Amino acid sequence: MTNDIERLTKEHILAKERMALKRWNVGDPSGFLEISNSDVTYIDPYVDKRLEGYDALKSLYEGLRGKIIVDVSEMIETRVDLYNDIAILTYKLFSSTSQGETYWYCTEVYRLIDNENWRIIHTHWSIAK
């Protein structure tokens, strides 16, 4: 039973991430915004500083809305580690756009909020060599 719940939780989190990426790929950052918590922190190679809080992330993402179209995107080697109300999702992402092909690493820390919704509290994107 516990194993079933764990397995379903992991699948649920992966499905959330996949859905957010699917929208991201057509220029819509709202998928990620809708699952990011108010206290989210965010790192990618292009931000000068770690972003702190939903509003900072929203500001970044709104500036990119409609500007990034990803033709091919594949999550590789996904892994979810569960620690009670915290889940650490890690994966590699292959991404192909008009700018070229890139392999990314991604860490997403999800937290179960109000015993109801898994939401992102930390994101770290990086470029794999």
Would residue 35 be called left, alpha or beta, if left means φ above 0 and alpha means ψ between -120 and 50 degrees? alpha
State yes or no: residue 105 binds its own copies (CB under 8 A). yes
Burial of 25: CB neighbours in 10 Å, binned 0-12, 13-18, 19+: middle
Contact call for residue 6 and its own copies (CB under 8 A): no
- Closest by CA to 122, choosing from 111, 29, 112, 21, is 111
Cα separation, 124 vs 105, in Å, equals: 8
Place of tokens 């500036």: 63
Q: Does 69 bind its own copies (CB under 8 A)?
A: no
Question: Any contact of residue 99 with its own copies (CB under 8 A)?
Answer: no
Q: Does residue 30 bind its own copies (CB under 8 A)?
A: no
Is 37 one of the binding residues for its own copies (CB under 8 A)? Answer: no
**Nearest distance from C-beta of residue 26 to its own copies, angstroms:** 25
Q: Does 54 bind its own copies (CB under 8 A)?
A: no
Q: Burial level of 111, CB count in 10 A (0-12/13-18/19+)? A: middle
**Stretch binding its own copies (CB under 8 A), from 4-12, 20-28, 49-57, 62-70:** 49-57
Binding-site ranges for its own copies (CB under 8 A): 39, 41, 43, 45-46, 49-50, 52, 77, 79, 81, 83-86, 88, 90, 92, 105, 107, 109, 111, 121-122, 124-129
